[in-house]
Amino acid sequence: MLYLSALLIPNWNITVGNTTRYSIIVNWQSLTPVINKMVLQYIVQIRSKDGSDVLNAMLANGSATYVNMAGLSPYTEYPVNVVGVASDGQPYKSSNVTALTEEGGILLLLAF
Protein backbone atom coordinates (compact mmCIF):
# COMPACT_ATOMS: atom_id res chain seq x y z
CA MET A 1 0.00 0.00 0.00
CA LEU A 2 2.89 2.37 0.79
CA TYR A 3 4.19 2.05 -2.78
CA LEU A 4 0.82 2.90 -4.32
CA SER A 5 0.42 6.09 -2.27
CA ALA A 6 4.00 7.26 -2.87
CA LEU A 7 4.58 10.40 -4.94
CA LEU A 8 6.84 9.82 -7.96
CA ILE A 9 10.10 11.80 -8.01
CA PRO A 10 11.18 11.28 -11.65
CA ASN A 11 14.53 13.12 -11.37
CA TRP A 12 15.70 11.17 -8.31
CA ASN A 13 19.09 9.64 -9.17
CA ILE A 14 19.01 5.85 -8.66
CA THR A 15 21.76 3.58 -10.04
CA VAL A 16 22.67 -0.10 -9.87
CA GLY A 17 26.25 -1.29 -9.77
CA ASN A 18 28.65 -3.99 -8.62
CA THR A 19 26.45 -6.73 -10.00
CA THR A 20 27.32 -10.35 -9.42
CA ARG A 21 25.40 -13.51 -10.24
CA TYR A 22 23.47 -13.28 -6.98
CA SER A 23 23.55 -9.64 -5.85
CA ILE A 24 23.46 -5.99 -6.83
CA ILE A 25 24.26 -2.74 -5.05
CA VAL A 26 21.56 -0.09 -5.36
CA ASN A 27 22.78 3.51 -4.94
CA TRP A 28 20.68 6.64 -4.61
CA GLN A 29 21.05 10.36 -4.11
CA SER A 30 19.79 11.59 -0.73
CA LEU A 31 16.14 12.55 -1.09
CA THR A 32 16.22 15.19 1.67
CA PRO A 33 17.44 18.11 -0.53
CA VAL A 34 15.03 17.12 -3.31
CA ILE A 35 11.87 17.21 -1.14
CA ASN A 36 13.13 19.68 1.53
CA LYS A 37 12.10 17.28 4.31
CA MET A 38 14.05 14.90 6.52
CA VAL A 39 13.89 11.28 5.32
CA LEU A 40 13.39 8.72 8.08
CA GLN A 41 13.95 5.56 6.05
CA TYR A 42 14.37 4.15 2.58
CA ILE A 43 12.82 0.97 1.23
CA VAL A 44 14.63 -0.60 -1.70
CA GLN A 45 12.42 -2.93 -3.74
CA ILE A 46 13.29 -5.53 -6.32
CA ARG A 47 10.19 -6.37 -8.31
CA SER A 48 9.12 -9.10 -10.70
CA LYS A 49 9.85 -8.37 -14.35
CA ASP A 50 6.27 -7.20 -14.96
CA GLY A 51 6.46 -5.05 -11.79
CA SER A 52 3.45 -6.64 -10.13
CA ASP A 53 5.20 -8.37 -7.21
CA VAL A 54 7.93 -7.35 -4.76
CA LEU A 55 10.48 -10.18 -4.78
CA ASN A 56 12.90 -8.67 -2.28
CA ALA A 57 12.93 -5.53 -0.15
CA MET A 58 15.37 -3.96 2.28
CA LEU A 59 15.01 -1.13 4.79
CA ALA A 60 17.77 1.45 5.19
CA ASN A 61 17.99 4.40 7.56
CA GLY A 62 17.43 7.94 6.36
CA SER A 63 21.14 8.73 6.07
CA ALA A 64 21.95 5.70 3.88
CA THR A 65 22.65 6.06 0.17
CA TYR A 66 23.09 2.41 -0.87
CA VAL A 67 22.22 -1.20 -0.01
CA ASN A 68 23.52 -4.58 -1.13
CA MET A 69 20.62 -6.75 -2.33
CA ALA A 70 21.47 -10.46 -2.28
CA GLY A 71 19.66 -13.72 -2.95
CA LEU A 72 18.99 -12.98 -6.63
CA SER A 73 19.07 -15.39 -9.57
CA PRO A 74 21.87 -15.40 -12.16
CA TYR A 75 21.32 -13.68 -15.52
CA THR A 76 17.97 -12.23 -14.54
CA GLU A 77 16.55 -8.78 -15.22
CA TYR A 78 14.91 -7.01 -12.27
CA PRO A 79 13.09 -3.67 -12.02
CA VAL A 80 14.41 -1.82 -8.95
CA ASN A 81 13.04 1.24 -7.20
CA VAL A 82 13.55 3.14 -3.95
CA VAL A 83 10.87 4.58 -1.68
CA GLY A 84 11.83 7.28 0.81
CA VAL A 85 9.57 8.00 3.78
CA ALA A 86 9.69 11.63 4.96
CA SER A 87 9.37 12.77 8.57
CA ASP A 88 5.72 13.70 7.96
CA GLY A 89 4.97 10.12 6.81
CA GLN A 90 4.66 10.97 3.11
CA PRO A 91 6.32 8.31 0.91
CA TYR A 92 8.18 9.26 -2.29
CA LYS A 93 9.24 6.76 -4.95
CA SER A 94 11.83 6.72 -7.69
CA SER A 95 11.24 5.63 -11.24
CA ASN A 96 12.26 2.03 -11.88
CA VAL A 97 15.77 1.24 -13.02
CA THR A 98 16.69 -2.13 -14.50
CA ALA A 99 19.28 -4.41 -12.97
CA LEU A 100 20.72 -7.44 -14.76
CA THR A 101 22.61 -9.98 -12.70
CA GLU A 102 25.65 -11.68 -14.23
CA GLU A 103 25.51 -15.02 -15.98
CA GLY A 104 26.32 -18.16 -14.03
CA GLY A 105 29.70 -19.61 -14.86
CA ILE A 106 30.50 -23.20 -15.68
CA LEU A 107 33.42 -24.83 -13.97
CA LEU A 108 35.18 -27.38 -16.16
CA LEU A 109 37.34 -30.01 -14.54
CA LEU A 110 39.75 -31.59 -16.96
CA ALA A 111 41.71 -34.74 -16.23
CA PHE A 112 44.97 -35.32 -18.09
CA dist., res. 28 & res. 65, Å (int): 5
Predicted confidence (pLDDT) per residue in 51-78, tens digit: 788 999 999 999 999 999 999 999 999 9
Q: From the CA atom positions of the chain, what is the Rg in Å?
A: 16
- Under the banding of pLDDT at 50, 70 and 90, the label for residue 26 is very high
Predicted confidence (pLDDT) per residue in 30-44, tens digit: 999 999 999 999 999
Q: What is the DSSP letter of 10?
A: T
Q: Which residues contact 109 (CB under 8 A, 6 or more apart)?
A: none
What pTM did the predictor assign?
A: 0.86
CA dist., res. 11 & res. 23, Å (int): 25
Q: Catalogue all structural domains in the chain, each as residue range(s) with its CATH number.
A: 2-100 (2.60.40.10)
Give the pLDDT of residue 108: 47
State the CB neighbour count (10 A cutoff) for residue 1. Answer: 6
